[in-house]
Amino acid sequence: MERGFQPLARGLATAGITPNQITIAGAAITLISAGFVVAGDLVTGGIIFILAGTLDTLDGTLARATGTASVRGAFIDSTLDRVSEGAMFGALTFYFAARDEPANAAMVVVALLGSVLVSYTRARAEALGIECSTGLATRGERVLVLGLGMIFGWAAIAIYILAVTSAYTAIQRISTVLRGLAAPDIEPKE
């Protein structure tokens, strides 16, 4: 998918647009999307959410295409990704609670926890020097499932799918990290 964004990234670079500007715009657009969800318009919220998710791919493509990828940019991107997900999940919790659907509202919280764990396990693994991008429910997949679920009237189903797949992905990543850390830090005593 990134390859398809390369011509657009080159155009943005020519126009003087920076990866961090794209990251910030994506987060702002997600907040607008969450506003539509709170107002009860899931279709518009879903369409805008997918657009914002597309910007999340574009910022990295732009950074690599312009040679401006940095630890600072990665930190801003990851942080705003969590803000964006939190805003959308918060909006969906409100949406379900306002419609007296407590089980669905509670499942949004479970899906949020799974989503955060997927991101956290990757970040922590990378801090330990272990590559850990495996898994079924990466950020792009989560955005797509949730956005399409809202557009097609399956928001509750999408949330349940995300709760399960995010938990599964977190377990996959934990397993990957534990295998990567298999060598003991301290030699066992004989």
User: CA 89, CA 82: separation in Å to the nearest integer?
Assistant: 10
Nearest to 46 by CA among 160, 154, 146: 146
Residue 59, both tokens: 């910022």
Give yes or no: 81 in active site. Answer: yes
- Among 41, 81, 100, 185, the active-site one is 81
Q: Which residues are catalytic?
A: 81
